Structure formats: structure tokens, C-alpha cells
Copies of this chain bind each other. A is one copy, B any other.
Amino acid sequence: MERTIGLLGGGQLGQMLCEAANPLGIKIVILDAEKSPAKQVNAKNDHIDGSFIDAEKIRELARQVDILTVEIEHVDTVVLEEIAERGVEILGADGKKTVKKVEVQPSWRTIRTIQDKFLQKDHLAENGVRTAISKAVQSTEEDLQAFGREMGYPFMLKARKDAYDGRGNYPVKSASDIKDALMALKGRGLYAEKWANFKMELAVMVVKTEDGTSTNGTATVAYPAVETIHEDSICKLVYAPARGVSQRIQREAQELAKKAVGSLWGKGVFGVELFLMEDGELIVNEIAPRPHNSGHYTIEACPTFSQYKSQLLSILGLMPSFPDSRIPAMFPATIMLNILGGASKPAHNEIMKHAIGIPRAALHMYGKESKPARKIGHITIVADSMAQGESLVQPLLSMTDAMRAERKGLPTPKPSTAISSKPSASRQPLVAVTMGSDSDLPVLKPGLALLTTLDIPFFVTITSAHRTPMKMHEFASTAASKGFKVIIAAAGGAAHLPGMIASATPLPVVGVPVKGSTLDGMDSLLSIVQMPRGVPVSCVAINNSINAALTAARILGTSDPVIQERLVKYAKDMEHEVIGKAERLEKVGFTEY
């Protein structure tokens, strides 16, 4: 590639950017302290030692490159504006001073807007992007009391600038907190923010591919919406895709993030943090104008198109187009766990060793000196299902929890609490079970119990083909987009339910004929099994909900080896049970048995 990139900041984001750039033949010159992580993996160029907030050093970097970008937003935007608008002076071949054009991506205007969190929120609100309601305030008790009266308690008092990983935020629970809050954030520009009652934090990486602004989402490409779990105000875990979130919300989160990023200036990759509120609404929390912790998982989950490659290609104007303007993850489930420095320097050695021993885990250590709670590495696990990923991450999570306890002087947590203490990771139900009438429930119960035994999350409801036809249709036609993989439907008599559901969904539908008071179930069986060509129902034996549950499990097992293994074990257990009975019968004789 002909154009050289100058990078302000050489931390782990810059390091992973260089790891993506090296094989693409893209040259990066780094401005940061000597031996910073990014410099460790990039010996191709003469880097600049110094601070990425030193204006003269930034100019020195600009002289050597064609395009400037950042791995951190806390940079001097005045000098970036100067360079972008007026260029930088260099000595020409003839020994005379001349001005060289240097691009800044994303635009200094975007970085400046984002640096000041209040300006950022104001900008988003002006562009019709939902955010938490916020207001610039003076550092006075009166101003905060007025905000509290208007918006209610609790609310958040936040520093406008230089705030990250929870530093610069103060929760004001009641008027009596106001004094302490002002003391804690003394000397900083402030704004107050209405408390956001979210049930989940999401994040979407968005790539902006054109310089111009637009809020209709054109010229932006989105990665999937992921779930982020924070602890001590630092990102701890990322689940990709977000767990238990419907296709509709997944899509809305991408759209909202694309709209927000589209409103900004310049090109590059952006991390958009969102809140999913209790009422299902999505709002933007904040935006980072650079690769983001919530996008690390893309290195493995999108092995040919990580967030780092997107950053490089977008700022160079080389980004290809993607179908539906989305970059899909290549695995059904990916989990990223941050490694924070422990109480002692070697505290993370155990988790490194453990991670190296997991075939589906990728360890990323940043080559940074370990300090307590400093981000020094991360682990990414790719899985065939979220359940598989969760079980692989469990022991690692126990280790980071133990490291945190040691760091904070807390008692060592019990290993088993590591996952259960997480914000109710409500799992996406995979099987939807419905019946024509509650009188069918006793027939279904053994099957539901078996799904529970097999650890397959399901959802149960009643939808009658004849008494609630509209509800039934709505249920069937939205089941796929809600994330269900299989539907089990039970009905008796003129049992139309399974077939009618099958007519409104592309999902496999398993029908359970329920035996009624006449005809011995033959009416139900034939109503369910004799479907016309084009609309398939998988029929099991009369009243046999066990086999319906097993059919659903076998279907899920086609793409989830963990479930398929459980089914192999189930068959073995069944075989042993019957062989045991046979042995007893042979031993005690048929009269005694």
C-alpha cells in the first residue's frame, strides 16, 4: 500500500491495529512512549518516542505520513485541526519549506465532539439519536438540586472530558450526595444525566466509509450487537451476539448505532455503547471514535475482517461493500474475557496457562507491565453455541474473579458463583412449545421435563388454531426472528395447530397428536401427519411428548455438538437401563419380576 498511516497512541488497540496492518503491507508509524505495546510488534518503521498529546511531536509524525489516526480520543484536537486544514510544513527536495497535505481520520471535529461527553450527547440528540437525558451544569449545589428536582434521584454527575472506565462519574443517590459529588469532580466541567434503568448493556462496532455525514445509515457498516458486562466500571466480558436478545432488537441496535455514527465526520471504526432499557427501548450511552474493547472478539469471530482491518481500510478509503451493510460473525457464539492485572505481577500466569490449554480459546497478552486492575490482555473463545462458550469460559471466569478478590482484599469467591452472580444472563430459549388447550399440558409435561434435563432453554404458551387464530399466526410468523430454532405444537381432535403453525414459519415444527376421548387419538394423528405437499410437519407418536422433545434436541444437535453429545449419552443411559431390566428379569424370572 502506498499511503503511510501515523498513529497517535501505541497501547493495545494500536498493537492490534499493527498486527492487522503488517500482513496487509500497510505501514504505520507510531507516536507514543518507547517500547509501547504497538511498537513491540512493528519494527518496520522508525517510530517517534513521545507523548500523543504533544503538539510538536504530532506535527513531527504528520511530516512522515499521509494520514493520521488515533487509538485514543484524549488527544490534542487543536493541532489535528491545524494539520487537517492547513497541512504541515516540510523541507522540500530543494531544501525549501513547503506544505504537505495530511488527512486526519476520523475528523478532528468528530474527536473533539466525542471528547466532551456532553457535546457528544447534545450532538446525538440534535441528530435524532436517543440518549439519556442530560444537561450541562455549573459546579454549584443549586444547579444540581434543580436537576434533581426536575429529573428525580438518583442521577449521574459526570465530568465532560477525560473520563473513562468509570473514572469521572459520580452517582447522586439523593440531594445529600450533592456536596460529595462536587468535591469528587472538583475543577472539571460537568454535566448531569438522568438515571438510565437499563436491563442490559450492548455495543455495536460501526465502520464509517465516507467523509460526509448522514443519519440514514448509508456509508456505514455494522458488526453484530454484542452484550457487555462491566465490573468495577471496567468492561469484563463480551458475549457475541448479545444473549437472549431478539432479532428485532439486534437489528434495531445496529440501526441506531449506524445512525449515530453516520452523524459524525470522517471515516473509521467506532464503538457504540448502548443501553437496552427495561421497556425494550434502546438508547446510545456513548461512542468511541476508534477500535473498541467490545470489538476485540472480531479478531477470531471475523477471521478475515476484524475491527482493526476495518479501521485500516476505512481510513484508507479501501473498504469493500458488505451485503446488507453488515459484517457477520463467522461463529454462532463468541465470548471475550478481559484479563486485568492482579495484586502481584505474576498473578495472571495461571489464567494464561489455562487459556493456552483450551483449543477454542485465543489468548492475547499486550506486552504491558502488570499493574492492579490494568487491562493487560484478553481471551476470546469461539463456540458452536453460547452454552458451549459459557461452559468453556467458566473456569477462566473463576480465575479472574479470584484475581479480583485478591486485588480488592475480598474473600476468595466460591468457584461456582462465578457465573450465577452475573446479571441474569437470561438465555435465549431455543424451543417454542405451544398447545391448543391447557388440557394438553399433562401430555406435554414429560417432554418439557426432558428438555430441562437436556439443558435446552424453552418457552411454553397456549395458541389455539380455532379459538385464537390471530395470536397463533403472530406467534408462528415471528418465532424465527425471535431466535427460536424449533417449534413443538400439541393438539387433539381436529388437530390443526401444528400444520397451521408450519404454514407461517420456516422453522421445523414437531407435532404431538393428543389422544382425545373418542377415536383413540387417530383423529389427532391423521390431522397432524397428513399435511399437504409444501407444508411439512414432523409428527411423533400419539401423546409422545418425550419423542417431540428428543426430535427438537436432535435438530438443535445438528449445529450444537454439546447437545448432540448429550443425546448420545441419553441413548447409552436408556440402553443400560433396559439391559439392567433384562438382567434382573433373567435372574429373578418372569413370575418374581
Contact with B along A529-559 (1 / 0, CB 8 A): 1111111111111101011101100111111
Q: Which 3 A-B pairs have the closest CB atoms?
A: A538-B538, A559-B559, A536-B547
Interface residues of A in 279-318 (CB under 8 A from B): 299-300, 303-305, 313, 318
State the CA gap A535–B363 with chains docked (Å): 42
Which of B332, B380, B529, B534 touches A546 (beta carbons < 8 Å)?
B534
Interface residues of A in 540-593 (CB under 8 A from B): 540-542, 544, 546-548, 550-551, 554-559, 564, 567-568, 570-571, 574
State the CA gap A1–B533 with chains docked (Å): 62
B304 touches A359 (CB 8 A): yes
Stretch at the interface among A139-147, A172-180, A460-468, A503-511: A503-511
Identity of the chain B residue whose Cβ is nearest the Cβ of A16 in the assembled complex = B23
Kindly provide the distance from the CB of A245 to the nearest chain B CB, expressed in whole angstroms.
Answer: 17
Which of B42, B304, B506 touches A41 (beta carbons < 8 Å)?
B42
Q: A25-B352, A506-B567, A555-B555 are in contact. Are A540 and B529 (CB under 8 A)?
A: yes
Which of B19, B364, B536, B551 touches A508 (beta carbons < 8 Å)?
B551
A558 touches B24 (CB 8 A): no
Q: A506-B568, A529-B525, A540-B531 are in contact. Are A356 and B313 (CB under 8 A)?
A: yes
A331 lies within 8 A of chain B by Cβ: yes
B364 touches A332 (CB 8 A): no
Which of B327, B357, B380, B544 touches A531 (beta carbons < 8 Å)?
B544
State the CA gap A301–B112 with chains docked (Å): 40
Which of B320, B506, B544 touches A359 (beta carbons < 8 Å)?
B320
Contact with B along A315-327 (1 / 0, CB 8 A): 0001010100001
Of A318, A537, A551, A558, most B-chain CB atoms within 10 Å: A558
Q: List 27 A-B contacts (CB under 8 A).
A: A23-B362, A24-B356, A40-B42, A41-B41, A304-B359, A304-B360, A304-B361, A304-B380, A313-B356, A320-B359, A330-B330, A485-B559, A503-B571, A506-B554, A506-B557, A508-B538, A508-B551, A532-B541, A533-B547, A536-B547, A536-B554, A537-B547, A538-B551, A539-B539, A555-B558, A556-B558, A558-B559
A533 touches B546 (CB 8 A): yes
Kindly provide the distance from the CB of A346 to the nearest chain B CB, expressed in whole angstroms.
Answer: 10
A184 lies within 8 A of chain B by Cβ: no
A206 lies within 8 A of chain B by Cβ: no
A414 lies within 8 A of chain B by Cβ: no
User: Which residues of the other chain, B, contact A377 by a CB distance below 8 angstroms?
Assistant: 23, 25
A372 lies within 8 A of chain B by Cβ: no
User: Which residues of the other chain, B, contact A530 by a CB distance below 8 angstroms?
Assistant: 541-542
Kindly provide the distance from the CB of A307 to the nearest chain B CB, expressed in whole angstroms.
Answer: 14
Which of B313, B358, B367 touches A25 (beta carbons < 8 Å)?
B367
A43 lies within 8 A of chain B by Cβ: yes
Kindly provide the distance from the CB of A88 to the nearest chain B CB, expressed in whole angstroms.
Answer: 27
Kindly provide the distance from the CB of A504 to the nearest chain B CB, expressed in whole angstroms.
Answer: 9
A533 touches B538 (CB 8 A): no
A70 lies within 8 A of chain B by Cβ: no
Which of B24, B536, B546, B568 touches A363 (beta carbons < 8 Å)?
B24
State the CA gap A574–B360 with chains docked (Å): 43
User: Which residues of the other chain, B, contact A571 by a CB distance below 8 angstroms?
Assistant: 503, 506, 534
A480 touches B318 (CB 8 A): no
A44 lies within 8 A of chain B by Cβ: yes
A39 lies within 8 A of chain B by Cβ: yes
Kindly provide the distance from the CB of A228 to the nearest chain B CB, expressed in whole angstroms.
Answer: 21
Q: A327-B359, A359-B320 are in contact. Are A22 and B43 (CB under 8 A)?
A: no
Identity of the chain B residue whose Cβ is nearest the Cβ of A45 in the assembled complex = B40
A486 lies within 8 A of chain B by Cβ: yes
A277 lies within 8 A of chain B by Cβ: no
Contact with B along A56-67 (1 / 0, CB 8 A): 000000000000
Kindly provide the distance from the CB of A54 to the nearest chain B CB, expressed in whole angstroms.
Answer: 22
Contact with B along A481-520 (1 / 0, CB 8 A): 0000110000000000000000100111110000000000
A382 lies within 8 A of chain B by Cβ: yes
Q: A19-B19, A564-B480 are in contact. Are A508 and B382 (CB under 8 A)?
A: no
